Amino acid sequence: MYELMKQASGIGITQRRLLSKMENHQPLHQQSYRQILKLSMMKMNRNNLKYFESISFEEAVRDKKWQTTMDEEIKAIDHNNIWELTKLPKRSQPIGVKWVFKRKMNAQGEIERYKARLVAKGYKQKEGIDYDESAFLNGVLEEEVYIEQPPRYMKSREEKKENEFKQCPYEYALYVKKNGGNMLFIALYVNDLIFMGNNGEMIQDFKSKMTQEFEMTDLSLMKFFLGLEVRQEEIGIFVTQEAYAKEILKKYKMAYCKLVSTPMEPGVKLSKFDRGERVDASKYQSLVGSLRYLTCTRPDLSLSVGIVSRFMEEPVHSHWKALKRILRYIQGTVSLELFYSNVEDYKLIWYSDSDWCGDLDDRKSTSGYVFFMGNTAFTWLSKKQPIMTLSTCEAEYVAASWCVCHAIWLRNLLNKLEHQQLDVTEIRIDNKSAIELAKSPVNHERSKHIDIRFHFIRDHVKEGSVKLVHVANRDQVADIFTKPLLMVLLDNCKKLIGMKDGRSI
C-alpha cells in the first residue's frame, strides 16, 4: 500500500509541474492533458481499490487464501506455547480478540502474500489490572491474562492436546506431561535426554513418537548419562562416577599413588600469598575443572575442590600439593557411590552450616548446606560467602538465608511434580543465636547492620513454610562442606549423606 500511495503522490507532483508549463505555453492542449491524466488515475484506483479495502472476518472465511493464512497464524501461536486452553476463573474478565487481514504488496503494486494477525482488543484492558505501563514494545508478560478463543478456532476443553509437554517453570531443562494420575518426565541436556514415568504405555508411546521424528538410539534402562554411571536394583538406585575418576587419575599419573584418608588435611590453611615455586596455571585449572565435575556425585569433595579453586590465577607448589592430596584420596575411595533407596518419604530436610573467617586472604566465611529427601542427599553446596561477617551467629544466619532460598525453589519444583510439601521444611543448624535472630523482627545492636536481603528468611519462618531447628554439633551433616574433618568425622558424614562403597555391596 505504501508503494502505491508513494507512486500516486509522485504523479500528483508531476501533474502540477506539467499543468504549470502548459498553462504558460500550451493552453490549447491543457484540457486534453487533464482528461488523459484523470483517466489514468481512475484506472489505477479501480485496479487497486480492492487491495486497500478492509477485509471482514465473514469475507475472509469464505476465501481459501485467507483460511490458509489464518491456519498458519494459529499454528505459529500453538508452536510457541503462547496460550493454553483453561477454565475462566471466577471474577475474571477475558479480553476479546479479532482478526486483522492485510495484503502485502511488492514494488510493482502486486499482491505478494496474504497476512492474517490475531490481535487483542486492547481498548478493553484496564491499567493496573490487565497491564502496567511500560516503555518496551516487547516487554515480558508476567501477569496471567485471559482471552477469548479466536473465531473459527473454538475448542472445548476436552479437545485440548494431550501429547504436549509443559516446560517446568522452576527448571527449564525439565518437561512434564500429565494424563490423569499418570505422569511422564523428560530431562533434557543439549542433545541428550532421559525420561521416566509411572506408566509404561506413556513411556513406550513417547519412545515410538521420538524415533519417528528423530534419529535416536534407545539405550533401554539408563546405565550411563553424561559421565554418571547408574545401577538400578530392587532396593534402590546407585549413582557413581568411578570410570570418570579413574580417567582423571590415569591422566595425571596418579593411578598407583599413595593413599590418604581425607581429601584435605585438617588445620591446613592455604593462601594466595603462599610462597613457593609457581606451577603451570593451565594444567592446574584443567585438573580443578575435572574435579569440579566429579563433585556431582562426590559431596565429600565439594569443600576441598572449592578451596583449591580460589587459586586459579597464580597457583604455587602448596596449592598443587593440595590438589594432589585430593587425587590420593580419590584413589582410595574411587568406588564410592550415592545410594537412593526405594522409599516414599518425600519430606524435605536440610542441614545448614558455616565456619567463621576461614579464608586467610579476605577473612570471609564458607557456607555449606545439604538437602535430604528420604535418607539420601540429592543437592548440596559449599561456597565462600560474598560478605565479611562479624560473628559466628551472623555467618550461620547468612548461610541459613541461602539455604531458605534454595528450599523455597525446591518446594515449588516438587509441587509442580505432584509431590507437594504440606509440612513445614526443617532447616537444621547448630547455632541457637542464628535461630533466634531469624524469629525476631527486631534489629539488635549486633545485627542491625546485616543486609536486608539476608532477612528474607524471617518472612518464611513467620508464614510457616520453613522452620529452623537446632541440631547438636556431632549430628551436623553440613560440617563436611565448611571445614576439613578428621577421618572419623568425615566417614560418619559420608554415611549419613548416603555414600556407600560399591565394592562392599
| 26 neighbors 19 (Cβ within 8 angstroms) | no
Tally DSSP H helices, then E strands, for the chain: 13, 16
Torsion (CA) 17, 20, 25, 29 in degrees, nearest 10: 80
C-alpha cell at 146: 485471559
Q: Is the four-CA dihedral 374, 378, 383, 387 of positive or negative sign?
A: negative
Per-residue confidence at 135, pLDDT binned at 50, 70, 90? low
Please choose, from the candidates 284, 322, 326, 324, the residue with its C-alpha nearest in 3D space to the C-alpha of residue 301.
Answer: 326
Taking only the tens place, the pLDDT of each residue in 468-489 is 999 998 899 999 999 999 999 9
pLDDT at residue 311 in the model: 95
Between 28 and 293, residue with greater pLDDT = 293
pLDDT at residue 37 in the model: 47
Please choose, from the candidates 206, 208, 212, the residue with its C-alpha nearest in 3D space to the C-alpha of residue 188.
Answer: 206
Q: How many CB atoms lie within 10 A of CB 4?
A: 18
pLDDT at residue 335 in the model: 93
| 147 neighbors 156 (Cβ within 8 angstroms) | no
Q: How many CB atoms lie within 10 A of CB 23?
A: 10
Q: Inform me whether the pLDDT recorded for 191 exceeds 70.
A: yes
Q: Inform me whether the pLDDT recorded for 327 exceeds 90.
A: yes
Running DSSP on this structure, what letter comes out for residue 103? E
Cα 397 to Cα 436: distance, rounded to the nearest angstrom: 10
Per-residue confidence at 10, pLDDT binned at 50, 70, 90? very low
Per-residue confidence at 247, pLDDT binned at 50, 70, 90? very high
- Which class is 343-471 in CATH? alpha beta
Which long-range contacts link 213-219 to residues 24+ away (Cβ below 8 Å)?
A: none
pLDDT at residue 419 in the model: 82
Between 504 and 279, residue with greater pLDDT = 279
Cα 372 to Cα 497: distance, rounded to the nearest angstrom: 8
Domain spans of the chain? 2-45, 58-159, 343-471
Q: How many CB atoms lie within 10 A of CB 190?
A: 7
Taking only the tens place, the pLDDT of each residue in 356-411 is 999 999 999 999 999 988 778 889 999 999 999 999 999 999 999 999 999 999 98
| 407 neighbors 350 (Cβ within 8 angstroms) | yes
What's the average model confidence in pLDDT over 273-282? 93
Per-residue confidence at 303, pLDDT binned at 50, 70, 90? very high
Q: Inform me whether the pLDDT recorded for 82 exceeds 50.
A: yes
Cα 85 to Cα 327: distance, rounded to the nearest angstrom: 55
Cα 337 to Cα 223: distance, rounded to the nearest angstrom: 14
Cα 146 to Cα 94: distance, rounded to the nearest angstrom: 5
pLDDT at residue 47 in the model: 46
Please choose, from the candidates 96, 104, 109, 106, the residue with its C-alpha nearest in 3D space to the C-alpha of residue 65.
Answer: 104
Residue 120 phi/psi, 5° resolution? -85, 150
Q: How far is CA 456 from CA 236, 311, 353, 470, in A?
A: 37, 32, 17, 19
pTM for the whole thing? 0.66
Cα 308 to Cα 272: distance, rounded to the nearest angstrom: 10
